[in-house]
Structure 1
């Protein structure tokens, strides 16, 4: 199975700038003016330009204010403070303090398009520290 990550955004150019600056992704293929493929993660990420107010899922319309979804992405980093600084400089908003866990450290951020992201720095064996 191959997994692709699609992220709806209201404007493609600022979204591309954010994701390349915040997470170090690189633009690859472009699909007209409506989408760009970003590489550099373990799976390709596609930014899809979709107007606010258009139908997103079922009867729900797209809204780029901060929103919650039960599906989100984690970005695993080696230096949490540096990654957080880079994301904030690119336009992310920090949502809470850095938290410690048995498996490592975490901080949550939101991109300029309302999507939430977790930045993780594993410690020791990462999730294996708590696996049963």
Structure 2
């Protein structure tokens, strides 16, 4: 039987050093490996994050006409990071340059805050209560 699949998160950013500093400060991750001059592996979450330095307005893929845009944008994929202390994590995110989009909101599963990173990517910080997502599971 083949090994189970493993999630790897790749994020395009226009400034690798700034992104490395941001994500290490906000998510408490650390640098694993450097993959040449344009990529760095961040470890410490359940899935590694790879930051890939790509210039703004560069082609997103060879086959698609889309161009990279690092202003705030919407994508159907974003990061949710579970934290033990949302207030502390939120203050770290803001201090590192995140834009707080909603403040802290109560949810049946705990507390949540949504942000944009300095590169336009959306992410959420979630402090689960004792029930977590079981509170909304059917």
TM-score (norm 2): 0.93
Please state if 1:127 is matched with 2:133: yes
State the match for 1:51 in structure 2: 55
Q: Which runs of 4+ in 1 moved over 3 A?
A: none
Q: For residues 117 and 137 of structure 2, what CA distance do their matches in structure 1 show?
A: 30
Q: For residues 104 and 86 of structure 1, what CA distance do their matches in structure 2 show?
A: 19
The root-mean-square deviation of aligned C-alpha atoms, in Å, is 0.8
- For 1:1-132, list aligned pairs within 5 A: 1-57=5-61, 58-132=64-138
Q: Size of the alignment, in residue pairs?
A: 132
TM-score (norm 1): 0.97
Deviation digits for residues 16-75 of structure 1 (CA, Å, limit 9, x no counterpart): 010111111100100111000000000110000001111114210001001001111101
Gaps of 5+ in 1: none
Gaps of 5+ in 2: none
